[in-house]
A and B are shown apart, each in its own frame.
Chain A
């Protein structure tokens, strides 16, 4: 049997069910490794003691009908966890201990999973490098001083470094898929309305979705099956019949029509990404898929649209952090001064920037020119996809325009940071499901990902296509454990 922490969710689940491993052994193995991996800075808050207690409890009361039997899992620190501090990577929530549980994490625990701890992320999920976190940046296990992507950077690093078997992140403009691409892992953003947003610290409510981040496609299907559910507590949750994604997982994609959008061939895209994409296309052909050239003419307008819509929603959502009912408070002579000081000291620079953009585009006299305009362009972007999906079953693109970059490389230029999400943002704007799978490496040996985009509620199809491609690509993430300490 291979080392416990390097096993996939599928292997761990099988080993538990066959009684080859106990939940306690598995939980302790991940905790031991975490203790030696502090250099990566993936944890904001650990739950190790309670996790061991819970694993013992599971072992003394075995239940193999569960889908995640006694499996320890760390989650992004954006999910409210009852009794366990939830910070969203922000000083303003530094002392916040929720008294309720997010629906998505509740779904994990209801299927037997055990909370290992809360993973670092960009502040309020605003960032593409995990550098905006109040709790410091995260190291990408792929190489020293490399960003793990963001905003789910602690999550992607934890999966790649074998610190959790699987995890869940959130994706507003690429925050699951981009870090997955940067770390050689799999990340899926489900259709808007598939996973409940209840109990997830809100960033941009019309874009936010939770989703699985895993070592491989099969694990991804297993985890999606658990977290996707209809929820009365989220008014945008959609009541539809969800698949048993792992049971229906198949490599047979013969005859599937896969679209290749010409607009994703952007200026200055490295040759190796162009090559990666070509390889993906030829693998899809080898699997019997039909390749069709398509056009998504408004692709170039997606990022500017996103940088109106997302900050506008964020400025409204983050109005609640005023120092009155919970979180950080900075004292003031009067109420207004208390609000202003609390928010000034409690939020980091990127969050303030986005609140300011959002406030401006929603302010009197500018609403029509910016916000309304953006919502109209968003309609056009959605229509591009509707048209494309009348001809194809799925769309294949690169996940990101580059591989992971160095820590500090882009922090002084917000716009160049935003460009990271050029291939992922349109999918959120259109509410579609998208998955990033590792597909190759660049000249520095850093991972690169390919993205498969599907029709609404067609997660099964993009999982199957990814499953078939994964088999052909045969990606190996040879990570050297350079950060381990004794």
Chain B
């Protein structure tokens, strides 16, 4: 199978990465080469194989549901791209 330009544009939209036509064409070539390489997996019959879901054979731990009341508001906002001490600022969403 091969990935066409329309598919590349569709994936870029899903991935929220804008690309121009020149980049899209270059990516189309790269992705097709990579997928040609990946297709090798189809040689294998995996009908009766259980998919691996966790490499560390442990179950997830439970922890106590407790409040650790560290005030980290300032820390969280510290790297905010637009200066504001109370909120994250984004472009207007509601007209």
Residues of A within 8 A of B (CB): 95-97, 99-100, 192-193, 206, 232, 235-236, 238, 298, 300-301, 303-305, 307-308, 315, 319, 322-329, 331-341, 343-344, 347, 352-353, 355-357, 359-360, 363, 370, 372-380, 382, 413-415, 418, 429-431
A305 in complex: contacting residue of B16, B27, B41, CB < 8 Å: B41
Least CB separation from B92: chain A residue: A334
Asked if B44 and A377 make an inter-chain contact with CB atoms under 8 angstroms apart, the answer reads yes
The B interface, classified by DSSP as helix, strand, loop or mixed, is loop
A370 near B90 with CB under 8 A, answer no
A135-B53 Cα distance, complex, nearest whole Å: 36
Instruction: Contact check, B56 vs A192: say whether CB atoms are below 8 A apart.
Output: yes
User: Do the beta carbons of A308 and B38 come within 8 Å of each other?
Assistant: yes
Question: What's the dominant secondary structure at chain A's contact region?
Answer: helix
CA distance A243 to B41 in the complex (A): 39
B15 close to chain A: CB less than 8 A: yes
Q: A238-B58, A307-B38, A363-B11 are contacts. A336–B16 as well, Cβ < 8 Å?
A: yes
Q: Can you name 16 A-B residue pairings with CB atoms under 8 Å?
A: A192-B56, A236-B54, A324-B90, A325-B81, A326-B79, A334-B92, A340-B18, A344-B19, A355-B15, A356-B12, A359-B15, A360-B11, A363-B11, A378-B52, A414-B34, A429-B55
CA distance A325 to B82 in the complex (A): 9
Contacts of B88 in A (CB 8 A): 324-325
Once bound together, how far apart are the Cα atoms of A413 and B36, in whole Å? 13
> Residues 65-95 of chain B: 1 if any A CB is under 8 Å from the residue's CB, otherwise 0?
0000000100110111110000010111100
Given the known inter-chain contacts A235-B60, A334-B92, please indicate yes or no for A376 contacting B50, CB distance below 8 A. yes
- Interface pair B33/A415, CB less than 8 Å apart: yes
Residues of A contacting B75 in the complex (Cβ-Cβ under 8 angstroms): 99-100
> A334 contacts B91, CB within 8 Å?
yes
Q: A347-B17, A373-B46 are in contact. Are A206 and B31 (CB under 8 A)?
A: no
How far is B78's CA from A453's CA once the two chains are assembled, in angstroms? 43
Which residues of chain B are near A236, meaning CB under 8 Å?
A: 54, 56, 58
- Report whether A359 and B11 are in contact in the complex, using a CB–CB cutoff of 8 Å: yes
* CA–CA, A238 and B54, complex, Å: 13
1/0 contact string of B28-66 vs chain A (CB within 8 Å):
001101110111111110100111111110101101000
Q: Does B5 contact A (CB under 8 A)?
A: no
* Cα distance A373–B79 in the bound complex, in angstroms: 39
Given contacts A99-B75, A238-B56, A335-B90, contact A379 B50 (CB under 8 A): yes
Assess whether A431 is in contact with B56, with CB atoms less than 8 Å apart. yes
B79–A379 touching, CB < 8 Å: no
Selected contact of B41 from candidates A96, A206, A374, CB within 8 Å: A374
CB of B34, distance to nearest CB on chain A (Å): 6
Which residues of A are found within 8 Å of B54, using beta-carbon distances?
Answer: 206, 236
User: Would A235 and B82 count as touching, CB distance under 8 A?
Assistant: no
Chain B nearest CB from A115 CB (Å) reads: 19
Pairwise interchain contact A343-B78, C-beta atoms closer than 8 A: no
Tell me the bound Cα distance from A327 to B78 in angstroms.
11
Query: In the complex the two chains form, is B93's CB within 8 Å of A356's CB?
Result: no
Chain A: minimal CB distance from B77 (Å): 8
